Amino acid sequence: MADRTEQTKQARTWFEGLRDQICAEFEAIEREAGSDAAFEYTPWDREEEGNDNPGGGVQGLMKGKVFEKVGVNVSTVHGTFAPEFAQTINGAQDDPSFSATGISLVAHMANPHVPAVHMNTRFLVTGKAWFGGGADLNPPIPYEEDTQEFHAAFRAACAKHNPTYYERFSKWAEDYFYIPHRGVHRGVGGIFYDHLECPDDDAFARNLDFTQDVGKTFLEVFPRLVRKRMEADWTDADKLTQLQWRGRYAEFNLVYDRGTLFGLKTGGNVDAILMSLPPEAVWT
């Protein structure tokens, strides 16, 4: 029988290590731009009545010259879903107890020509255990070559594990990151996956390996795109385009994003949950 506590520990160790690598790389980019900006880390503890081990996390936030606002959060929580919410969660219909560990990242960039980005990966244990996550690119001013480079990197990562993954998960991202009331997509896509189930240790190892490659691929491709665009000249019109686009991004995250809902429904840290919102946006 799979040891879910040990599996959660292994996943947590990876997510926290990935956080450290990403934050170091983003700070290195700030140094290249002549900025001394650095991440500030704020631990938080979750509270749940009658729960002696509810868990918590660490919010990492940096505001710099290149990264106008970037949050990189890790958390590991344990508890019980509210009955109604449990009915919406894979494997929780009969038993609402759960544990979850993961990393979540959103970067809003100062230069409108540099794409914003979202990445998260997670491991959940209910009556079942599974991995989910992905990464998607969100440029206010899209460049086709950047879109192709981002997708090519994740296509290659998926191909190492399953020949059907990229087609399935890129379509999932396209469908998921859509704003119905606006009739537009949030960005230019990427991959999104969920319920990659781990009924035994072998499946856990395979799915953890894939999830690790998602993180490694993000760490490889996104900083490269940032460095390509971060010194580009921009106009007031470009900035207005970015601010209007950020309004759409905020609408998606507040109305449709499942991760936002999960965090709020499970008593997560509100500031960490809403770190995905841009520092400035307009609606015109």
Q: Cα–Cα distance between 275 and 71 in angstroms, integer?
A: 6
Give yes or no for a contact between 282 and 239, defined as CB atoms under 8 angstroms apart. no
DSSP 8-state secondary structure symbol assigned to residue 50 = T
Pull the structure tokens for residue 130: 């599974």
Of 108, 113, 118, 185, catalytic: 118
Q: Is 69 helix (H, G, I), strand (E, B) or coil?
A: strand
| Catalytic residue check, 118 | yes
Q: Which residues of 183-194 are buried (b: 16+ CB within 10 A; e: fewer)?
A: eebbbbbbbbbb
Among 176, 178, 180, 119, which residue's Cα sits nearest to residue 150? 119
What's the angle, vertex CA 162, arms to CA 156 and CA 167, rounded to 5? 70
Return the residue matching tokens 């997670």. Answer: 122
267 within 8 A of 142, measured Cβ to Cβ: no
Residues 6+ positions from 69 with CB-CB distance below 8 Å: 61, 62, 63, 107, 108, 275, 278, 279
Count of residues in the chain: 284
Distances in Å between the Cα of 159 and the Cα atoms of 31, 155, 188 are 34, 6, 20
For the annotated catalytic residues, the residue numbers are 118
